[in-house]
């Protein structure tokens, strides 16, 4: 939700959340406005941008390499567990990937102003959009395609960030309010590097499987300027936001274009492509099914839906759970309830100003408490 174009966790407490830029929430709201508020609309938004990203990716490979490479690379993109599961998840990275690839398309075609517009859109969506500026600038310098107009990117990016800070101050009276200061320090905090590399390697193998070693071969063997550009952009996030990258496996999404295209440069015969696709799907089938069946916070969604149907829009809701084995996520519950939802395992902590909902073992939810 947004208030004064600022992202908020709920409208009753004016709990601003400046962890994120506002454009994604506004884009999401636009889909809700057109199609109605429903889970399938959230998925639709993600799928529209996922398919749009693949279309732009295909055009880049087709124009600057060849049609066969574009077809093969697109297949490799589509069969990864990363795409199958996260390609329909309404998170910032999905629309961002579309604008990242659109920026690369205009950059490679030497169309500065359309590229500038695409980069600006990416920067308004989420923080990794800002990484386009150093990636493209460094690539242009290394490939001797630098243009003085690119200096404008280094002016616009800090200006947009400054506007975001001014907006933050306008609604929170703090340039780094709404949790921005805390989340930045957390996300850039150091982690044990041995553990970090092992974690990312494990996730890469799980979500991309054989594309990882094959793409590395393609990078060294072919040294294609486009795959290098894709890789330059992808590595910035795990280098800067190590804490976030160590917590969220889907942030490896930025390696999608590099892995798919670089692998396509070394796997050429269609029969070998088909064999690799079959092997990848077969080897990761159980993993894909486990992802599709994952339901860590399903009960939080149920609680939120119950709260939304059984309390007033102006109510603040407190959940008293008698089943500590069931994980709870307040953001999920608050989203589905469309009102603030807090949680406790201790009935003595009941706040009388909140509407109380009781959760019992077996998944039963009630407005009435029982002796336990």
Ordered DSSP codes for 124-143:
HH-GGGGGHHHHHHHHHHHT
Beta-bridge mates of residue 2: 7
Q: Which among 254, 223, 363, 234 has a CA at the least distance from the CA of 306?
A: 363
Asked if the model's pLDDT at residue 75 lies above 90, the reply is yes
Characterize 304-323 residue by residue with b for buried, 16 or more Cβ atoms within 10 angstroms of its Cβ, and e for exposed: bebbbeebeeebbbbbbbee
Give the length of the chain: 372
pLDDT number for residue 367: 87
Cβ–Cβ < 8 Å for 306, 365:
yes
Say yes or no to pLDDT of 372 above 60.
no
Distance of CA 176 to the CA centre of its chain: 22
Burial class (CB in 10 A: 0-12, 13-18, 19+), 351: exposed
With beta carbons less than 8 A apart as the criterion, state whether 238 and 272 touch.
no
What are the helix (H) ranges across the chain?
22-35, 39-64, 67-78, 81-86, 93-108, 112-125, 132-142, 151-172, 180-187, 193-208, 211-222, 225-240, 242-247, 256-264, 270-293, 298-310, 330-337
Whether this prediction's pTM lies above 0.75 is answered by yes
Q: How far is CA 290 from the centre of its chain?
A: 20
pLDDT above 90 (res 183): no
Name residues whose C-beta falls within 8 Å of residue 254's C-beta, 6 or more positions apart in sequence: 93, 97, 100, 128, 233, 234, 237
Spatial separation of the C-alpha atoms in residues 105 and 205, rounded to whole Å: 28
End-to-end alpha carbon distance in the chain: 37
Confidence (pLDDT) at 10: 55
Res 13: pLDDT: 52
Cα 335 from Cα 39, distance rounded (Å): 11
Per residue in 237-246, pLDDT tens? 999 999 999 9
pLDDT(76) > 60 = yes
Mean pLDDT of the chain: 91
pLDDT score for 265 = 97
CA-CA distance, 97 to 260, in Å (whole number)?
14
Given a contact cutoff of 8 angstroms between Cβ atoms, the answer to whether 73 and 264 are in contact is yes
The DSSP bridge partners found for residue 360 are: 364
Longest dimension (CA), the chain: 75
Element (H, E) at 3: strand 2-3
Does the pLDDT value for residue 370 go beyond 80? no
Q: What's residue 369's pLDDT?
A: 64
Cα gap 321→284, rounded to integer Å: 36
- Per-residue pLDDT for 225 more than 90? yes
Distance CA 346, CA 338 (A): 24
In this prediction, residue 296 carries a pLDDT of 77
Bridge partners, residue 7, by sequence: 2
Report d(CA 321, CA 324) in Å as an integer: 7
Q: Give the highest mean pLDDT range of 61-70, 317-326, 353-362.
A: 61-70
Report whether pLDDT(14) > 60: no
Reported as a pLDDT band with limits 50, 70 and 90, residue 9 is low
Sorting pLDDT into bands at 50, 70 and 90, what band is 177? confident
d(CA 126, CA 27): 12
């Amino acid at each position: 939700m947004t208030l004064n174009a600022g992202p908020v966790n709920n409208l009753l407490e004016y709990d601003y959340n400046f962890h994120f830029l506002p454009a994604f929430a506004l884009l999401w709201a636009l889909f809700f406005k057109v199609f109605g508020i429903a889970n399938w609309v959230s998925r639709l938004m993600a799928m529209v941008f996922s398919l749009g990203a693949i279309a732009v990716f295909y055009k880049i490979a087709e124009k600057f390499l060849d049609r066969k490479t574009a077809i093969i690379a697109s297949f490799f993109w589509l069969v990864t567990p990363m795409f199958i599961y996260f390609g329909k998840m309404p998170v910032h990275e999905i629309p961002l990937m579309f604008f990242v690839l659109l920026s690369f398309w205009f950059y490679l075609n030497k169309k500065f102003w359309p590229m500038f517009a695409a980069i600006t859109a990416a920067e308004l969506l989420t923080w990794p959009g800002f990484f386009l500026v150093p990636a493209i600038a460094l690539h242009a310098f290394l490939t001797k395609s630098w243009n003085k107009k690119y200096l404008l990117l280094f002016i616009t990016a800090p200006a947009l960030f400054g506007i975001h800070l001014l907006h933050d101050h306008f609604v929170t009276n703090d340039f780094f309010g709404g949790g921005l200061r805390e989340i930045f320090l957390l996300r850039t905090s150091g982690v044990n590097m041995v553990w970090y590399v092992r974690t990312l390697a494990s996730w890469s193998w799980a979500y991309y499987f054989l594309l990882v070693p094959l793409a590395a071969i393609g990078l060294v063997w072919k040294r294609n300027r486009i795959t290098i550009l894709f890789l330059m952009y992808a590595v910035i996030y795990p280098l800067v936001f190590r804490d976030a990258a160590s917590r969220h496996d889907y942030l490896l999404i930025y390696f999608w274009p590099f892995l798919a295209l670089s692998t396509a440069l070394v796997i050429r015969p269609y029969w070998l492509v088909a064999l690799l696709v079959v092997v990848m799907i077969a080897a990761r089938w159980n993993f894909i099914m486990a992802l599709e069946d994952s339901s860590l916070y399903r009960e939080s969604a149920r609680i939120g839906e119950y709260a939304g149907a059984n309390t007033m829009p102006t109510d603040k809701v407190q959940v008293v759970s008698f089943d500590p084995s069931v994980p709870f996520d307040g953001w999920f519950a608050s989203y589905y309830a469309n009102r603030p939802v807090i949680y406790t395992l201790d009935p003595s902590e009941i706040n009388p100003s909140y509407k109380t909902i009781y959760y019992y073992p077996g998944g039963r939810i009630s407005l009435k408490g029982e002796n336990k």
